[in-house]
Amino acid sequence: MCGLSGFLDPSCQMGGDELERIAVRMANTLRHRGPDDGGVWADAKAGIVMGHRRLSIIDLSSEGHQPMHSADDRYVIAFNGEIYNFRALRRELEQRGHSFRGHSDTEVMLASISQWGTVSAVKRFVGMFAFALWDRRERVLHLVRDRLGIKPLYYGWVGQTLLFGSELKSLRAHPQFKPHINRDALALYLRHNYIPTPYSIYQGIHKLPPGTVLNIHGDGAKSASAPVPYWSAGEMARHGNREPFSGSTDEAIECLHELLGEAVKLRMVADVPLGAFLSGGVDSSSIVALMQAHSVRPIKTFTIGFSESGYNEAHNAKAVAHHLGTEHTELYVTSEDAMSVIPRLPTIYDEPFSDSSQIPTYLVSELARRHVTVSLSGDGGDELFGGYDRYSIGRDIWRYIGWMPILSRKLLAKTISAVPVKLLNGSLAMLSPAVSKYGRTSGVGDKLHRLSEIMAVDSPEALYLRLLSHWKHPASMVPGASEPPTPFTDTSKLSDLPDLSEKMMYLDTVTYLPDDILTKVDRASMSMSLEARVPFLDHRVVEFVWRLPLSTRLHNGQTKWALRQVLHRYVPPDLITRNKMGFGVPIGVWLRGPLRDWADSLLNERRLKREGFFHPQSIVDKWSEHLSGTRDWHYHLWDILMFQAWQETQDQTN
């Protein structure tokens, strides 16, 4: 696991030494991603520069140093990630006459590209990766990102210079970089609590979409071609519906068991200590169970616990660890420990990001890094196997309201929203099953008001967007903003997915998974120089699961049914059967208590007006209601606070 950076400027007049100094400056901002080694390479004549920071995982020798040249000297690569099937590829390449000086997967990547070409080689890779590849013969820069978006890659033009890097901080280190906030992206952030691909918080800077290659010719032309897909989650989902698995349910479970076992086994290859995050839930327990099945010694597992019972899973994890016989480490952290992470978040996440589970994710990464350099996680299991409650809740709500004419729904929504929350909380004691399950707030009035917000939508896809949205009309909050297109606004790829739950899983796979979940894990783990691996997102597992009937994922009201059948081969059901618990912290309580002064400063009305990024009135009103206990607005407020904290950090560094 590493960090890469660089730029392409064919009109550049600087000499090689000066180019390398800039490359070192850019690469060193990523030292946390690669503390073991660093390197730069520049071709002043072509105007191409690459920098790299290395976290040594496979082949700890200097033969793994990057940027690395291919054996024929045609290609130069800066690579972040792991190619898990590199040994099989190496054997095949050796049979074709290739020889190798070291044992790294990077060298195998270069030989594969030399043998089969860039796209054909990438299609053979099983792994997580983002890399920059310079073709010295054709004078073309290839930027490539893995199929599911596990590893990050940013790029964009600054004047005539194309910048690229693993994190935005490396781009900011270039002397020509001028930070201009993308207000449209800021509006998207308020809706989703992350900034969706391909946008970033800066104008002109983009995230490379998962499963794509961007080819930039080194002829000085500023207009790069659009990213070209080599793999598509949408196409895989549609293909799975067109050509479903034809075997029996038992055969499906057996195939899933074999695929997951192989995915886990491949991700246990490392020349450094390895372990796993363990929460005690279905996903992480499945990964740990399969790891232990493939290991002759106890697997190292890590859990953090909280004294607040509603946020503590440590006892569940401990029970699973004991049953599987892992070498388990748990650490109970205090509220003060958790809150001490908050000042670091703007630097770690590098652009506004407000999923508050970023805090415990950082803490468990910090714990694991004391013992290992690589940790496997269960991320991706919810999106793949239907683990989120909203997959059934959304379908239930649409069943309750979708039959009504839209004008009737709008009238009913207007009537409900006109009644104050406090009055509803005091007067209603019973709710319909659909409403009672909806949302996380405890008050009846809150739930009904939230339901009224989605009753007027004109399609089930629009309903899902509303279910996921924090601020419901975010563009109205940001002066001069309008929301740009996202997969939620282009429903053409959803027509072949007949069930709303499947549509929600697909949308999460291409939005929430890469831009929230995987971003959260990547930044938190890499801030501690810890490599996190995600076996569920082996693309072969993803493709197979999409071929399974929906009933194998959501079965008689139970989520992740197929995965549970695999897990029950190793762990008895009574150790796992419990309500799903989010990996979170009590932000709402903290904002009324120890974080109040900090939040007061960032949410000050005069400050908001002066800075000009938000219309302040709605923010001020929500802050007042939250402090009084009238409403719980912590999701909305955390969005604003994380932007404000991030912006404050930028003001201090620019």
Positions marked catalytic: 2
Helix (H) / strand (E) element for 328: namely strand 327-333
Three-class SS of residue 162?
A: strand
Please, what sign has the CA dihedral across residues 350, 354, 357, 363? Answer: positive
Q: 561, 571 in Cβ contact below 8 A?
A: no
Task: Name residue 164's beta-bridge partners.
Answer: 6, 155
Classify burial at 616, counting beta carbons within 10 Å of its beta carbon; exposed 0-12, middle 13-18, buried 19 or more: buried
Q: 292, 388 in Cβ contact below 8 A?
A: no
Per DSSP (E only), the strands in 350-459 are 374-376
If we measure between CA atoms, which residue out of 229, 220, 226, 208 comes closest to residue 162? 220
C-alpha span between 364 and 409 (Å, rounded): 45
Three-class SS of residue 300?
A: strand
Sheet with 2-8, side-by-side order of all strands: 37-43, 48-54, 2-8, 161-165, 154-158, 205-207
Three-class SS of residue 533?
A: strand
Q: And the tokens for 72?
A: 């024929």
Encode 22-83 in three state secondary structure.
HHHHHHHCCHHHCECEEEEEEECCCCEEEEEEECCCCCCCHHHCCCEECCCCCEEEEEEEEE
